[in-house]
Chain A
């Protein structure tokens, strides 16, 4: 088990971080919000851990809590402004937020030096970023503790999201996604519930960032740019958002593709792109779409029994 972690440990950790990020964006998507702010909130989480660890030696659980609370505190006023926008306009505004976060990280020390009068103060350390000291991970049942923490975080997110979806919150977000004005005429306070989804998504992304810091170790602003924001969206879109498992599958597949395609060498990125395009064209509801798997399994069963491909798809019906 430990041997496997020597080889694949880093890949597994990165996949778990990506899964948490994919789950975070699925919350806003489920309320019909195309928000690309998750990379920015992830940066806030990662820097929270990095700064607290280097300045105060605070334990990880504390920086996790601080990061999530800070993200919520920021998401509420930010959301109150940007959530008036819709669709691609919201996407652009939230990309802008990510850029602002990056610029603040790059120039934050200058501002802090001016404010504190200490001309040698280093908090964010600009483009160079913060490097966390190496720490030998503890090992439990052959799995490093950093991975256990991520696993527990992902499990908590899944549990939370699955219960949210079953509750009235899930129905309310779905109604806003499907038809905002119909939702409003049913008495739903659309603005508040959008804000709630935005804040929850922000907290989840910041939490993922906070837990990623000890694994990435070098926290610099280039990690959290536009490309990162789009990548997080790709996880959720590829996996589909109809079920909580979709973003997990999407993130797992996209995180492992570069590894799996390593044998293609220089053509790797092209193949990666082609696979994403193909699955979005042929599986627009995501590779994690439950009804796709139901029909596929049913077809395979018919095929195995009769030796002929099924000519009719079974009716799609939720149990």
Chain B
């Protein structure tokens, strides 16, 4: 469904990606794990069109979308839940959700209700400025805002970042539900343990390059991965 081939991205003089290649099959959850500064966000932002690659292709359903404007990428069904949530603080919960549906045509009322059913805490806070929500609620809103666009591929950038352990569980439960609904997900996480538990397939990125890939279950049990990303104590 999504194929990245030999993607090179730089920030001015700094090269952030040196030939990233990866693949996401329809209906699967693919994890992209790696340390701080490895290039995870850069990869997602390049797919979503916020960054332009110097070289390489991004093929989505057979069409090369590399270098497209973000709104065109979204209109193809690739929707990103950005790192750090990025809800629009002064706007209300409902306004944020309606903006999420911007790329769609037709009535969104049913989808709005569906999001409220899935996230009852948002329902109670519809008219509240989204900036006044807790971190966890803001993450729910960011996810709800992406879902209301009816994504064909959902990209999540560290959805557990900065959340308390209990809330992290909630977030992963939501991802689990989305997986059961056969939503295609590209999941970026530093919390490699959780990501590898939920994903079907995984890539490990280091210094802007993919250094390992394989079925998530295999990586989970790989001593080198355990050593580098999952912590010794678990081995």
Interface Cβ pair total, 8 Å cutoff: 68
8 A-B pairs whose Cβ atoms sit less than 8 Å apart in the complex? A171-B98, A172-B99, A182-B88, A183-B99, A185-B80, A187-B79, A187-B103, A188-B99
Given A171-B98, A171-B99, A182-B86, also A187-B70 (CB < 8 A): yes
- B30 to nearest A CB, angstroms? 19
Partner of B102, one of A174, A187, A191, A317: A187
- Do B74 and A185 have beta carbons less than 8 Å apart? yes
| B residues whose Cβ falls under 8 Å from a Cβ of A | 48-50, 69-71, 74-75, 79-80, 82, 86, 88-92, 95, 98-100, 102-103, 127-129, 145, 149
Tell me the complex Cα distance, A172–B96, Å: 10
Does A18 lie at the interface of the complex (its beta carbon under 8 Å from any beta carbon of B)? no
Q: Which residues of B contact A182 (CB under 8 A)?
A: 82, 86, 88
**Chain A residue nearest in CB terms to B76:** A187
Tell me the complex Cα distance, A10–B103, Å: 49
Does A118 lie at the interface of the complex (its beta carbon under 8 Å from any beta carbon of B)? no
- Do B103 and A171 have beta carbons less than 8 Å apart? no
- Do A189 and B69 have beta carbons less than 8 Å apart? yes
Does A318 lie at the interface of the complex (its beta carbon under 8 Å from any beta carbon of B)? yes
- A6 to nearest B CB, angstroms? 46
Q: Which residues of B contact A318 (CB under 8 A)?
A: 92, 127, 129
Does A178 lie at the interface of the complex (its beta carbon under 8 Å from any beta carbon of B)? yes
Q: Which residues of B contact A190 (CB under 8 A)?
A: 70-71
Q: Which residues of B contact A172 (CB under 8 A)?
A: 99, 102
- A164 to nearest B CB, angstroms? 15
Partner of B49, one of A171, A178, A179, A184: A184
Does A260 lie at the interface of the complex (its beta carbon under 8 Å from any beta carbon of B)? no
Given A184-B50, A185-B80, A186-B103, also A174-B88 (CB < 8 A): yes
Tell me the complex Cα distance, A130–B50, Å: 50
Tell me the complex Cα distance, A319–B102, Å: 24
Tell me the complex Cα distance, A172–B149, Å: 15
Tell me the complex Cα distance, A168–B99, Å: 8
- Do A188 and B71 have beta carbons less than 8 Å apart? yes
Known pairs A181-B70, A188-B71; list 6 more (Cβ under 8 Å). Answer: A171-B95, A172-B99, A174-B88, A187-B70, A187-B74, A187-B102
Q: Which residues of B contact A24 (CB under 8 A)?
A: none
Tell me the complex Cα distance, A261–B14, Å: 58
Does A175 lie at the interface of the complex (its beta carbon under 8 Å from any beta carbon of B)? yes
- Do B88 and A185 have beta carbons less than 8 Å apart? no
Tell me the complex Cα distance, A242–B103, Å: 26
**Chain A residue nearest in CB terms to B71:** A189
- A160 to nearest B CB, angstroms? 20
Question: Which residue, B82, B128, B145, has most C-beta atoms of chain A within 10 A?
Answer: B82
Residue interface mask A184-212, B partner, CB < 8 A = 1: 11111111000000000000000000000
Q: Which residues of A contact B128 (CB under 8 A)?
A: 317
Tell me the complex Cα distance, A186–B100, Å: 6
- A257 to nearest B CB, angstroms? 30
- A182 to nearest B CB, angstroms? 4
Tell me the complex Cα distance, A179–B90, Å: 11
Tell me the complex Cα distance, A178–B90, Å: 8
**Chain A residue nearest in CB terms to B89:** A178
Tell me the complex Cα distance, A168–B96, Å: 11
Given A184-B50, A187-B149, also A175-B91 (CB < 8 A): yes
**Chain B residue nearest in CB terms to A242:** B90
Tell me the complex Cα distance, A181–B102, Å: 15
- A165 to nearest B CB, angstroms? 11
- A29 to nearest B CB, angstroms? 14
